[in-house]
């Protein structure tokens, strides 16, 4: 089987119905090599795809060239606005620009000020990435994104500071146990902030509903039941996604710090910690995102009666979002 299937504009070259297919797709999406694409190369990719759409492809253009051109265009240019996304806020820049923030979140012996700063910086970076990669096919007020951002920052900072204070006051913890437990505080703080952000940004879907599609991709109606399922699945995704990134490094570092080398050379702890965070981020992010398909299925019997009347399909699909 050829590595590159026949080119399809706007589609993934990997099967999105399987975990491995989604994993390979997201490896393409977060590939940091696209950060170094020149303006000239980007123009060539856009022109090549325009030729494909117009049916005027030059002779000798391969499927591999078309898939690569689409990968580059999708990594840099917003599909709805047609504008370039700033480098730190592209999905391909999420790991290189987000890793320093993860390192900061997971630093041991955090003060109150450093806890607030790193949680604020993390939510600010996430908000910029979400806004830069938003669905812009329908105009949305900036206040909607601001509300989600403020809610995420407030919940993240409140939970992180609250848990830190509780642990500091827990007299039954030894200093070693207290330090270990403190290292895991970023996960519940970030996970709760992610859920808060989803609820605040998408609560209107619960009253308005979301589109459901038949087997041919045609919209058959708008469903509030599907909206509830979509929000639950998205919230679960947002809880699972940071889990390996914020849980694995503390576990690994608690073991590595006992090694004689790091006991003798304390200066090596921060570089090793940074490398562990980078490795965990690079491997865990595509794995976590790939767990759930972008398009979910639901039985028509579970939806509103008008949906059942509008289609002969037993199963319909909906976009759950990320």
pLDDT in tens, 146-191: 888 898 899 999 999 898 888 877 767 777 777 778 888 898 999 8
Instruction: Yes or no: say if 152 and 196 are a contact pair by the CB < 8 Å rule.
Output: yes
Q: Which two tokens stand for residue 160?
A: 């992180």
Reported as a pLDDT band with limits 50, 70 and 90, residue 218 is confident
pLDDT tens track for 13-49: 998 888 999 999 989 989 999 999 999 999 999 999 9
| 137: CB partners within 8 A, 6+ apart | 80
pLDDT > 70 fraction of the chain, expressed in percent and rounded: 96
Q: Round to whole Å and give the CA distance between 322 and 228.
A: 14
Question: Which residue is associated with the tokens 């604020």?
Answer: 120
pLDDT at residue number 196: 84
| Reduced 3-state DSSP string for 152-189 | HHHHHHHHHHHHHHHHHHCCCCCHHHHHHHHCCCHHHH
Residue 181 tokens, joined: 């437990």
Rg for the chain (alpha carbons), in Å?
22
Q: Residue 85, SS3?
A: coil
Query: Nearest-CA neighbor of 145 among 183, 198, 96?
Result: 198
Longest dimension (CA), the chain: 75
Question: Distance between CA 155 and CA 116 in Å, rounded?
Answer: 11
pLDDT for 52 equals: 93
Cα torsion at 73, 76, 78, 81 (round to 10°)? -90
Kindly state the DSSP code that residue 58 receives in the 8-state scheme: P
φ, ψ of residue 317 in degrees (nearest 5): -120, 160
């Amino acid at each position: 089987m050829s590595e590159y299937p026949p080119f399809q504009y706007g589609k993934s070259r990997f099967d999105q119905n399987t975990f491995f297919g989604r994993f390979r797709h997201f490896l393409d999406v977060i590939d940091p090599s696209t950060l170094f694409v020149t303006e000239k190369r980007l123009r060539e990719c856009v022109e090549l795809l325009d030729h494909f759409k117009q049916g005027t492809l030059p002779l000798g253009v391969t499927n591999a060239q078309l898939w690569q051109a689409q990968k580059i265009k999708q990594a840099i240019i917003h599909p709805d606005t047609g504008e370039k996304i700033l480098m730190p806020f592209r999905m391909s820049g999420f790991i290189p620009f987000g890793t320093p923030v993860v390192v900061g979140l997971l630093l041991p012996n955090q003060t109150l000020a450093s806890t607030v700063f790193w949680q604020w910086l993390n939510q600010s970076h996430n908000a910029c990435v979400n806004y830069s990669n938003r669905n812009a096919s329908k105009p949305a007020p900036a206040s909607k994104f601001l509300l989600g951002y403020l809610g995420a920052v407030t919940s993240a900072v409140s939970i992180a500071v609250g848990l830190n204070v509780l642990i500091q006051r827990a007299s039954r913890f030894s200093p070693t146990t207290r330090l270990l437990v403190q290292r895991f505080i970023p996960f519940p703080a970030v996970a709760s902030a992610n859920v808060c952000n989803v609820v605040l940004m998408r609560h209107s879907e619960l009253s308005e509903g979301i589109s459901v599609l038949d087997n041919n991709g045609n919209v058959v109606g708008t469903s509030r039941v599907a909206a509830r399922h979509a929000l639950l699945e998205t919230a679960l995704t947002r809880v699972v996604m940071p889990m390996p990134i914020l849980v694995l490094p503390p576990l690994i570092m608690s073991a590595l710090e006992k090694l004689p080398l790091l006991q003798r050379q304390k200066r090596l702890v921060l570089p090793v910690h940074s490398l562990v965070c980078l490795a965990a981020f690079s491997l865990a992010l595509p794995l976590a995102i790939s767990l759930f398909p972008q398009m979910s299925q639901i039985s028509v019997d579970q939806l509103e009666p008008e949906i059942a009347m509008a289609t002969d399909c037993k199963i319909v699909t909906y976009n759950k979002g990320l």
